[in-house]
């Protein structure tokens, strides 16, 4: 039978049995809707958790730690391997590793304060910080010179040029000699004039430093978006402070005092002040504190830890080529077998990222299987409906066979009808599932209070999910109609027409 007459018969039969077929496909619609809902939810949660809360493609590696009673010790000599340059080279050789970036933490006390532009009044805080390679955040390196995340205080050897008004002297970018306000004469008061003394001749983007008496660039720092989320979700309401938009943080300037904090003063070096400017937000930044180019931290640590040679790093960020490679790379990092095993471990945040990814995948799989069970049960209902319909059309099928239709033609006719039902059911399920995702987002917006990382949408819909929904619906409808189609194709036209 040619395709045009066959399709014409399919349309006629669908139109004639529309009510029965629609009722039998309700299970397909509900099952596909739940499948779309849970797949979109799983994709959305992965996007939120593994891209916003954690960056699963960046694994933070630390020396192995050991539990001793209530204490957790790390970097024990002879037991833990050091994260030095040799270790970095071994990490680079792991299959699936794109790049490695060392990190150093502050090894000294520090505190800071901001001007009124942020909170309307001075705000003092203990500062925790670390340093990373600026190459880890290349998107900020393309910003204007005064706002890029780079070591703006050094020059030469391929480093970026000094800011306008500064010159390169002994590898450092410096401005004119200046006369800073004497320490203690208002410094640290948090006033706006503190950040820009009017008696200096420093170019924009620089400040006069007390210890060097030269104008030097402000230190570019990154803030973690997690800190802003936690502040907006908890601290702002508790302390009666205004909520902050992430864009409003960029460009904020502050003062950092090295060697002294609320916890006391360092005995190994004098107190120094440096000026900071927030140039961006990055998930690679330390969660509670500020992150700056690693060269600054290395220099600051040398001032207060002169007796401790800086031959290693506190941690290393390992960038993985693809998310699929993350488990394999993580296993290689933690491998302790033999002398060739690295024997390091992942930082708690990276471990949480891996566990969160596995948990989301497992939950998505479980709920998807439940949805497929619903669709499978609907296929049984489809089979029952087609058995009834074909029983009523037994004489018609016999006439078609007598007029020259082959068994394959009859089988194709029934399967095409079931495929059409599957397409309609799949499309209806997709529309219902999509509507359910929008309703869930609306209810969240209306009734759920703000909390850290609360997204605008919990779901991520894609054309691939639509194709999957239609494919699953059609496949199960064909499966349900296969036995009725075989029985219809086996009808003997002579017996059917004669009634014998």
pLDDT digit string, tens, across residues 196-220? 444 457 888 888 888 888 888 889 9
Dihedral angle computed from the Cα positions of residues 444, 450, 453 and 458, in that order, rounded to the nearest 10 degrees: 0
- The separation between CA 215 and the C-alpha centre of its own chain, rounded to angstroms, equals 40
For 30-44, what is the mean pLDDT? 92
Residue 479 in domain: yes
> Can you give the pLDDT at residue 472?
93
Domain finish residue from 282, 307, 332:
307
pLDDT at 499 over 70: no
- Does residue 97 lie in a domain region? no
With respect to residue 320, please indicate whether it lies within any of the assigned structural domains. Answer: no
Q: Are residues 366 and 245 in the same domain?
A: no
User: Measuring CA to CA, which residue among 359, 454, 460, 293 is closest to residue 56?
Assistant: 359
The verdict on residue 492 lying in a domain is yes
Mean pLDDT of the 463-480 span: 92
Q: Number of folded domains in the chain?
A: 2
**pLDDT tens digits for 91-118?**
999 999 999 999 999 989 999 887 566 6
Verify that 206 and 146 share a domain, yes or no.
Answer: yes
Decide if pLDDT at 280 tops 80: yes
Has residue 162 been placed in a domain? yes
Verify that 486 and 372 share a domain, yes or no: yes
Do 29 and 119 share a domain, yes or no?
Answer: no
Whether the CB-CB separation of 466 and 433 falls below 8 Å is answered with no
Where among 307, 341, 365 does a domain terminate? Answer: 307
Q: Which pLDDT score, from 0 to 100, does residue 68 have?
A: 53
Who has greater pLDDT, 9 or 95? 95
Q: Which two tokens stand for residue 463?
A: 């054309």
Encoded tokens for 418? 């079931």
Which H helix or E strand runs over 59? strand 58-62
Comparing 119 with 475, the larger pLDDT belongs to 475
Least confident of 172-186, 375-389, 483-497: 172-186
- pLDDT score at 196: 42
Closest CA to 104 of 280, 308, 296, 287: 296
CA pair distance 481, 468, nearest whole angstrom: 20
Mean pLDDT of the chain: 81
Q: Give the model's pLDDT for residue 105.
A: 92
Q: Which of 307, 338, 372 represents a domain boundary (last residue)?
A: 307
- Residue 436 falls inside a structural domain: yes
Binning the chain into helix, strand and coil, the percentages to the nearest 5 are 50, 15, 35
At 144, the pLDDT band (50, 70, 90 cuts) reads low
**339 belongs to a structural domain:** no
Task: Give yes or no: residues 115 and 252 share one domain.
Answer: yes
User: What distance in Å separates the CA atoms of residue 292 and residue 218, rounded to the nearest whole number?
Assistant: 11
- Do 298 and 367 fall into the same domain? no
Range(s) of the domain holding residue 266: 108-307
Average pLDDT value for residue range 158-167: 80
404 in the same domain as 468 = yes
- Do 275 and 148 reside in the same domain of the chain? yes
Whether 366 and 236 map to the same domain: the answer is no
Q: What angle, rounded to 10 degrees, do the helices at 407-447 and 3-16 form?
A: 50
- 447 phi/psi in degrees, rounded to 5: -120, -20
Residue 363 tokens read as: 């939950």
What is the mean pLDDT of the segment spanning 398-422?
A: 85
Find the angle CA(120)-CA(125)-CA(130) to the nearest 5 degrees.
Answer: 125
Query: Which string of DSSP letters, residue by residue, matches 190-227?
Result: --GGGGS-TT--PPTTEEE-TTT-BEEEPEEEEE-HHH
Give the residue-averaged pLDDT of 113-133: 78
CB 230 within 8 Å of CB 75: no
Give the pLDDT of residue 429. 94
Closest listed residue to residue 144, CA positions, set 274, 279, 246, 284 = 279
pLDDT of residue 185: 40
Task: Please indicate, yes or no, whether residues 486 and 367 belong to a single structural domain of this protein.
Answer: yes
- Quote the pLDDT of residue 199: 41
Report residue 147's pLDDT band, with 50, 70 and 90 as the boundaries. Answer: low
The DSSP string of 26-56 is: HHHHHHHHHHHHHHHHHHHHHHIIIIII--T
Mean pLDDT for the stretch of residues 353-373: 87
Contact 112, 127 (CB under 8 A): yes
For residues 376 and 491, membership in a common domain is answered with: yes
pLDDT at 291: 93
Based on the domain organization, do 146 and 283 belong to the same domain?
yes
**Residue 88 forms part of a structural domain:** no
Average pLDDT over residues 411-431: 91
What's residue 338's pLDDT? 54
- pTM higher than 0.85 for the full model? no
Q: What is the mean pLDDT of residues 394-413?
A: 82
């Amino acid at each position: 039978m040619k395709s045009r007459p066959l399709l014409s018969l399919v349309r006629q039969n669908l139109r004639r049995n529309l009510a029965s077929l629609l009722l039998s496909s309700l299970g397909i619609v509900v099952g596909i809707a739940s499948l779309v809902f849970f797949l979109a939810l799983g994709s959305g949660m992965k996007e939120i958790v593994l891209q916003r809360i954690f960056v699963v493609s960046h694994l933070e590696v630390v020396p192995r730690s050991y539990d001793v009673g209530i204490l957790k010790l790390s970097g024990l000599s002879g037991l833990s391997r050091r994260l030095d340059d040799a270790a970095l080279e071994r990490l680079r050789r792991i299959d699936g590793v794109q790049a490695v970036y060392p990190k150093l933490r502050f090894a000294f006390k520090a505190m800071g304060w901001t001007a009124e532009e942020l909170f309307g009044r001075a705000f003092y805080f203990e500062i925790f910080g670390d340093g990373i390679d600026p190459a880890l955040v290349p998107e900020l390196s393309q910003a204007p010179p005064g706002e890029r995340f780079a070591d703006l205080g050094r020059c030469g050897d391929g480093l970026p040029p000094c800011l306008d008004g500064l010159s390169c002297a002994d590898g450092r970018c410096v401005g004119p000699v200046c006369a800073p306000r004497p320490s203690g004469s208002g410094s640290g008061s948090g006033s706006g004039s503190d950040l820009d003394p009017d008696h200096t001749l420093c170019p924009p983007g620089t400040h006069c430093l007390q210890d060097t008496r030269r104008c030097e660039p402000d230190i570019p720092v990154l803030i973690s978006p997690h800190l802003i989320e936690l502040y907006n979700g908890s601290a702002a309401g508790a302390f009666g402070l205004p909520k902050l938009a992430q864009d409003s943080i960029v460009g904020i300037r502050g003062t950092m005092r090295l060697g002294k904090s609320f916890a006391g003063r360092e005995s190994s070096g004098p107190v120094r002040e440096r000026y900071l400017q927030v140039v961006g937000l990055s998930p690679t930044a330390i969660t509670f504190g500020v992150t700056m180019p690693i060269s600054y931290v290395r220099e600051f640590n040398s001032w207060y830890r002169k007796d401790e040679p800086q031959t290693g790093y506190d941690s290393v960020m390992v960038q993985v080529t693809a998310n699929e490679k993350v488990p394999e790379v993580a296993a290689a990092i933690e491998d302790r077998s033999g002398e060739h095993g690295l024997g390091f471990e992942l930082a708690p945040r990276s471990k949480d990222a891996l566990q969160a990814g596995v948990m989301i995948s497992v939950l998505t799989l479980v709920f998807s299987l439940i949805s497929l069970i619903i669709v499978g049960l609907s296929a049984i209902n489809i089979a029952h409906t087609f058995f009834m319909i074909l029983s009523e059309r037994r004489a018609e099928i016999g006439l078609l066979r007598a007029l020259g239709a082959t068994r394959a033609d009859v089988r194709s006719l029934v399967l095409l009808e079931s495929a059409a039902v599957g397409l309609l059911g799949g499309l209806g399920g997709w529309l219902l599932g999509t509507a359910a995702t929008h309703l869930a987002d609306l209810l969240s917006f209306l009734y759920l209070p703000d909390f850290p990382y609360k997204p605008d949408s919990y779901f991520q819909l894609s054309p691939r999910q639509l194709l999957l929904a239609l494919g699953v619906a059609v496949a199960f409808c064909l499966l349900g109609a296969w036995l009725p189609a075989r029985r219809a194709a086996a009808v003997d036209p002579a017996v059917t027409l004669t009634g014998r």
